[in-house]
Structure 1
Amino acid sequence: MSPIDDHVAALAAALRGPERAKSRLIEEMHDGLMDTAAAHADAGADEEEAARLAVREFGTVDELVPGCQRELTVVQARHTARTVALTAPFLVACWYLVRTADDEPAAWQLPHAAQLLAGHLALVATLAALLAAATLAATGTLARRLPTPHRLPLVVAWAGTIASAAMAVATLALATAAALATNWPLLAAAGALAATSHAVVATSSRACRRCATLPVTT
């Protein structure tokens, strides 16, 4: 492998983030190194020396990782925020379903308790969705005018974690309500949807926490 390939491979191994964004960043870095090496070759350096000079100009892996990781962390935070924004409304819908699950007195006592729980979960979902929307704005168009808060990705990661936990609890509440309500198929379907949402949000939040705790520039 050439010095450029070694350098790019070491950088790729040190970075964490969404695979598509990471691949694009590594490809851009590789293309930049190749262009710089070509310029040195045109100036008279041999191929090996041109590659070494290009690597030297770009900086060491330790120098490049913080800035690159910061970029990937913001991308992951946006991905997590988008996931929360798209799935959090399901908790509100689940709250509505539990609230209207059944009106038969014999079957309503536990669903009513589930209704109260689902109401709190709906509040969690609303707050998570608002934070997600603010994150997308802060890391999108507003990022051109204002710096992205350094702690924002970690806040998004934990907000997603809390939202995913709420979805897990909603799944249990819906399953319990379905066992007692006459229209159980609808509640069972909502529980399955809540469980799927929990899995998606939990996976994205976990990846965001890993990225947010890696070294980044301030």
Structure 2
Amino acid sequence: MGEIDCYVDRLAGALVGPRRAKADLVTEARHGLIDAASAHHADGMAWPEAERLAVAEFGAVKELLPGYQAELGIAQMRRTAMLVFTVLVAQAVVWSRIIDPPVPRSGLPATLDAMIGWLGLLAMLGAAAAVISLRYLPTRRDATVIAGFSALTLSILIALLGVAITATSGGDLRWTIAFGLLPMAWTAHSARRCLRASR
């Protein structure tokens, strides 16, 4: 294995984030290294030496890692925000149209239903704002951490409120599991990945 392959393997092993975005970054780095080594080789340098020089010029993995990792954190943040928005819109439709029996309009179930409604609306607005801000505003690492933590917290709260509504209203727990807990577990998993990618 050549110097470039070893370097690219170290870089790929150090990065955390969405597979496709990570593969794109690693491929881009590989192509840049091969282009640099090819230029040195065309100037008469032996290929192994050209690879070593290209890697040295490219910089140590430790030095490049923060920039690459920030890009992967942003990609995971976008993915998490879009997932939160999509899941919550789908849940709102399912909850209002399909769930039977409907949540009573008074007492604790009604209060919990209102809480989950406001929390869901807040989460959808936050997710939409995150996606839009990623498009038009510079993003810092802090934004990725905040988005991941917010999505994780909201996923847990919405799941707990969904179970509480079902328990207090006499609803069918199967609906809550299928359309409440499982989607929120998926969202929480994506949020955890967002936090890991923001390191």
TM over 0.5: yes
Q: Does 1:117 align with 2:103?
A: no
Q: Provide the rounded CA distance (Å) in 2 between the counterparts of 1:31 and 1:39.
A: 12
- Is the CA contact (8 Å cut-off) linking 1:114 and 1:177 kept in structure 2? yes
Partner of 1:18: 18
Of 123, 147, 150, the residue aligned with 1:128 is 123
* Aligned length, in residue pairs: 199
Give the fraction of aligned pairs with identical amino acids, expressed as a percent: 33
- Is the CA contact (8 Å cut-off) linking 1:3 and 1:52 kept in structure 2? yes
1:136-151 matches, within 5 Å, as 136-140=131-135, 142=136, 146-151=137-142
After the TM superposition, list the runs of 4 or more consecutive aligned residues in structure 1 that deviate by more than 3 angstroms: 90-103
Partner of 1:38: 38
Q: Structure 1, residues 137-176: CA drift from partner, whole Å, max 9, x if none?
A: 1112x1xxx4214411111101111221123214413542
Q: Structure 1, residues 71-106: CA drift from partner, whole Å, max 9, x if none?
A: 000000001101111112345446646998359xxx
- Is the CA contact (8 Å cut-off) linking 1:153 and 1:208 kept in structure 2? yes
Of 128, 152, 156, the residue aligned with 2:147 is 156
TM-score (norm 1): 0.81
Partner of 2:85: 85
SS at match of 2:30: helix
Q: Does 1:209 align with 2:180?
A: no
* Alpha-carbon offset, residue 190 of structure 1: 4.7
Q: Quick one: which amino acid aligns to residue 16 of structure 1?
A: V
SS at match of 1:51: helix
SS at match of 1:33: helix
Cα root mean square deviation, aligned: 2.5
Partner of 1:199: 185
SS at match of 2:117: helix
Q: Provide the rounded CA distance (Å) in 2 between the counterparts of 1:125 and 1:90.
A: 11
Q: Provide the rounded CA distance (Å) in 2 between the counterparts of 1:158 and 1:119.
A: 23
Partner of 2:157: 166
Q: Quick one: which amino acid aligns to residue 156 of structure 1?
A: A
Q: Quick one: which amino acid aligns to residue 155 of structure 1?
A: I
- Is the CA contact (8 Å cut-off) linking 1:165 and 1:198 kept in structure 2? yes
- Is the CA contact (8 Å cut-off) linking 1:76 and 1:211 kept in structure 2? yes
Q: Provide the rounded CA distance (Å) in 2 between the counterparts of 1:102 and 1:207.
A: 35
* Alpha-carbon offset, residue 40 of structure 1: 0.7
Q: Provide the rounded CA distance (Å) in 1 between the counterparts of 2:94 and 2:165.
A: 8
Gaps of 5+ in 1: none
Gaps of 5+ in 2: none
Q: Provide the rounded CA distance (Å) in 2 between the counterparts of 1:60 and 1:204.
A: 30
Partner of 2:63: 63
TM-score (norm 2): 0.89
Q: Structure 1, residues 16-56: CA drift from partner, whole Å, max 9, x if none?
A: 10111101111111111111111110010001011011101
SS at match of 1:151: helix
